[in-house]
Amino acid sequence: MVGYRVQRSLMASLWIHSIILLVLAMQLQPLVHVALASTNVHIVYMGERQHDEPELVQDSHHEVLSNILGSHEAAKESILYSYKHGFSGFAAVLTESQAKLIADFPGVVRVVPNRVLSLQTTRSWDFLQVKPHIGNGILSMSHSGIGSIIGVLDTGIWPESESFKDEGMGKVPSRWKGICQIGEKFNHSHCNRKIIGARWYVKGYEAEFGKLNTSDGVEYLSPRDAAGHGTHTASTAAGLPVENASFMGLAQGLARGGAPSAWLAVYKVCWSSGGCSSADLLAAFDDAILDGVDVLSVSLGSPPPLPAYVEDVLSIGSFHAVTKGISVVCSAGNSGPYPQTVINTAPWIITVAASTIDRAFPTVIIMGNNQTLVGQAFHTMKDMNKFHPIVYGDDIAASGAVDGSARSCDSGTLNATLARGKVVLCFQSRSQSSAIVALSTVLDVLAAGLIFAQFPTKDVAKSWDIPFVQVDFAIGTSLLTYIGMTSNPVVKFSLTKTAVGQQISPEVAFFSSRGPSSLSPSVLKPDIAAPGVNILASWSPASPLPMAMTQPPPLNFNIESGTSMACPHISGIVALLKAIHPTWSPAAIKSALVTTASLEDEYGQCIVAEGAPHKKADPFDYGGGHVDPNKAIAPGLIYDMGFSDYYHFLCAMGYNNSAISSITKARIHCRKSANFLANLNLPSITIPELKKKLTVSRTVTNVGPVNSVYTALVQAPAGTDVIVEPSSLFFNSTIRKLKFKVTFHSQLRVQGRYSFGNLLWKDGFHVVRIPLIVRTVIQDFYAET
């Protein structure tokens, strides 16, 4: 995707239309404002199909619509999509009154307004030890993902990228039912034995905003990617090896995806001109289920407040995919480091947080007194390595600037005459999520460079026209002291270098959204963390580069950060696991990832979460921990779930019988079940309200040696006693599943905060760990006295 830098200008036009803006988990801190839509497009969701023949399902949709609109002709003109493969429903242009009438029709589960969602390397796979020379590793055992099909719902694909050549790829599987949909600058020849399917969806988007203008060459009415984001995520998940890949000479090396032998199916649902329609997204889910994908990689979602699961298109589409055996992987969002900001929280989804890798981009700042300081940048401009005067933003404040605003270089706060031709030092304010506003400000006043002192983070932003170096507050303060004590302070910058293995990783990224879930706090989210900071992958050369006054040569590879980049790492790993364990359910695969994840960095220290300040990471930062692909091959035990678990979950969430029955195509009678949410067979136990004592249960399935004995080890959350019964599990040829109970006793007599622990099952070889999360509450804590 184009970065959020471009998106912000696009958002302004979207707000004019008063459309809900659902934030894609893309770059650091995208806009998260949400407004109710004033829309003509509505999605009529009717749950599971009532007919096996898609034509009959479509006919039923036209019948419902014609009863409202008065004729079959009007119905055909109004309808945009008929969802008839994975589930039943349609998207149509309707007035509010017509939508209300349809909502009362028999068989209609929900009528929801269309929403527009705006869009959220090499070294990362080596860092994860996904390497071909490890004989018993996941890449070797899965034969690089042969047999798996990864569907990517995003901005499309640049088919000419070397990452998508089909050399060495097997023939298209006979089970594949997808198509190669032609369009602008995209024909059947652009699909091959790597890109085996490509579709594009624009009806919902155009119904909101009018016809897309593609004459300027910044978008294509086809699967071709004009934004770059879809090409980046697809190549991260499954790109073929490309030698000497780099971003303007940086991060040079062999670029490859996690499952390079997996097939790719592309579903273009997002547009570089500003967003992704939920009507289009649901159509893509519907087609992907029919086409036969094994994994869906989806870097989309709605920021809090989160809609109900039965009203959220992404939750609905993923529910139907998962119940048909398709793993759905989604990004956790980029609203960190604040709690309760995690998105895509349905228990059937694998929700991915972003972490760092051990690659850095050090850039030396040389002061006029020959002293040096080090920051991070992507500075490759050889003609800009001379000394320039350096000034502090607050010292060159424009007339009328609010007191203190120039120190952070807010928009319009700098005196253009005093800033021109100089390097400006700015300090991040608490209201700034990143350096983007400061960079725009110094570009507007024709400054020679920017040094931005900020909360410590390893995420590096880009500047195409002037040197831009990020430092922490300590280095920023040293520069400020130099400015104050020198009559003619000057600085210059060295060219950025690539350094591998010189920074401790992984750490949870500053921007990565945090739990607990604001919709279902008993379901731990995120599930897992994976690399999402400074990731090098293929790019669309047609993508306009954000905030570039003069466009550099087109990029074939680009470095991006976001949980959008973390998501396809897990998608690739899931494809590898599917190739090794083709019969495992989506829940079993998620369990394998969570229970084998690491809590330590590469030096054996506890993983840290970036923030203000940094802290020891906990399950609300990274779920089960940082992904360890090679251990996930053989987890020993799995916490499995299926269809009945999910519909009981919907019951426990308070949704009514008819709605759930329509969704599941089963006659459901929700029965009140005490603590069902706590007993949902997740690979974690989260108790958001522990009142003195609670007993929960879990069932594990042995997928290791037939005759195994596991012993429990408890690391109890602070302030809690935990007892596991039985404390040993005995498996043999006839006993593959066993149930155990965990009883929590609160030691606290005051209102508590969340505390964290672990339950481990050990057999001498496997360590099967799930996180324990508990918050004690006092029953009458808020009662009036």
pLDDT band at 754 (very low <50, low <70, confident <90, very high): very high
Q: pLDDT value at position 596?
A: 98
Q: What is the mean pLDDT of residues 469-489?
A: 96
Residue 129 carries which DSSP code? T
pLDDT band at 35 (very low <50, low <70, confident <90, very high): very low
379 is an active site residue: no
pLDDT band at 10 (very low <50, low <70, confident <90, very high): very low
Q: What element of type H or E holds 567?
A: helix 563-580
How much helix, strand and coil, in percent to the nearest 5, is found in the chain? Answer: 25, 25, 50
pLDDT band at 781 (very low <50, low <70, confident <90, very high): low
Is it the case that residue 398 has pLDDT exceeding 60? yes
Q: pLDDT value at position 242?
A: 95
User: How far is Cα 477 from Cα 484, in angstroms, rounded to an integer?
Assistant: 10
User: How far is Cα 19 from Cα 183, in angstroms, rounded to an integer?
Assistant: 27
Provide, rounded to the nearest whole percent, the portion of the chain with pLDDT above 90. Answer: 67
Q: pLDDT value at position 654?
A: 85
Greater confidence (29 vs 653) lies with 653
Nearest CA to 415 out of 437, 436, 393, 439 is that of 393
- Least confident window among 273-277, 332-336, 374-378, 607-611: 273-277
Task: Give tens-digit pLDDT for 529-581.
Answer: 999 999 999 999 998 876 666 667 889 999 999 999 999 999 999 999 999 99
Task: Give tens-digit pLDDT for 720-752.
Answer: 999 999 999 999 999 999 999 999 999 987 778
Q: pLDDT value at position 384?
A: 73
pLDDT band at 13 (very low <50, low <70, confident <90, very high): very low
Nearest CA to 678 out of 670, 669, 689, 668 is that of 689
- Calculate the CA 151 to chain-centre distance: 15
Strand-strand pairing, 608-609 and 615-616: antiparallel
154 is an active site residue: yes
> Annotated catalytic residue: which of 82, 85, 144, 154?
154
Q: pLDDT value at position 465?
A: 86
Strand-strand pairing, 149-154 and 263-268: parallel
Nearest CA to 159 out of 210, 220, 207, 243 is that of 220
User: How far is Cα 491 from Cα 449, in angstroms, rounded to an integer?
Assistant: 10
Q: pLDDT value at position 5?
A: 28
pLDDT band at 33 (very low <50, low <70, confident <90, very high): very low
Is it the case that residue 37 has pLDDT exceeding 50? no
229 is an active site residue: yes
Greater confidence (5 vs 533) lies with 533
Task: Give tens-digit pLDDT for 655-705.
Answer: 877 777 767 666 777 877 768 899 999 999 999 999 989 999 999 999 999
pLDDT band at 9 (very low <50, low <70, confident <90, very high): very low
Q: pLDDT value at position 357?
A: 95
Residue type, 546: P
User: How far is Cα 120 from Cα 28, in angstroms, rounded to an integer?
Assistant: 8
Q: Report DSSP letters for 153-175, one per residue.
A: EES-B-TTSGGG--TTPPPPPTT
User: How far is Cα 302 from Cα 316, in angstroms, rounded to an integer?
Assistant: 13
CA distances from 344 to 42, 134, 525, 560 (A): 21, 34, 8, 21
Q: pLDDT value at position 21?
A: 31
Q: What is the mean pLDDT of residues 451-480?
A: 92
Q: pLDDT value at position 550?
A: 65
Strand-strand pairing, 755-762 and 41-45: unpaired
Q: What is the mean pLDDT of residues 223-229?
A: 95
Nearest CA to 185 out of 268, 63, 126 is that of 268
> Annotated catalytic residue: which of 190, 229, 232, 379?
229
pLDDT band at 209 (very low <50, low <70, confident <90, very high): confident
Task: Give tens-digit pLDDT for 71-102.
Answer: 888 888 899 999 988 888 999 999 888 989 99
Q: pLDDT value at position 647?
A: 85
Nearest CA to 160 out of 187, 121, 122 is that of 187
> Annotated catalytic residue: which of 142, 148, 335, 564?
564
Task: Give tens-digit pLDDT for 490-508.
Answer: 999 999 999 998 889 999 9
Task: Give tens-digit pLDDT for 281-304.
Answer: 999 999 999 999 999 999 987 788
